[in-house]
Amino acid sequence: MEEVITLEQVEQELIQQGADPNDFNIKITETGYSVTPKWFYENKQIAKNEVGPTKEDVETVADTVVYLMGEVERLSTELEALKNG
């Protein structure tokens, strides 16, 4: 007679492999079981590997913001001049 695997056994197997059982949909079937990642699992894995913004990234964004604010000010002045004729 074949041993039936339990949900707890599958969860323990995932834990032993270094995975969080809560990240997976686990289904016990008549012939075994299936384990599929939940929708957020892939994003979670990518986020683990992401490095935060670098100093250069922050400086580039700051330079862009300063430039765009200058352009907004210039356009605002032009609009005001056109409005006042």
Output the pTM of the full model: 0.46
Task: Examine the domain organization and report whether 3 and 43 are in the same domain.
Answer: yes
Distances (CA, A) of 79 to 74, 75, 76, 82: 9, 6, 5, 5
Domain interval for residue 75 = 52-85
Predicted confidence (pLDDT) per residue in 10-60, tens digit: 999 999 999 999 989 999 988 889 998 887 766 777 777 766 777 787 888
Task: Examine the domain organization and report whether 41 and 76 are in the same domain.
Answer: no
**Domain total in the chain:** 2
Task: Examine the domain organization and report whether 67 and 40 are in the same domain.
Answer: no
Task: Examine the domain organization and report whether 6 and 42 are in the same domain.
Answer: yes
Structure-derived torsion over alpha carbons of residues 65, 70, 73, 79, reported in degrees to the nearest 10: -110
Return d(Cα 80, Cα 60) in angstroms, integer: 30
Task: Examine the domain organization and report whether 32 and 58 are in the same domain.
Answer: no
Q: What is the structure's pLDDT at 2?
A: 62
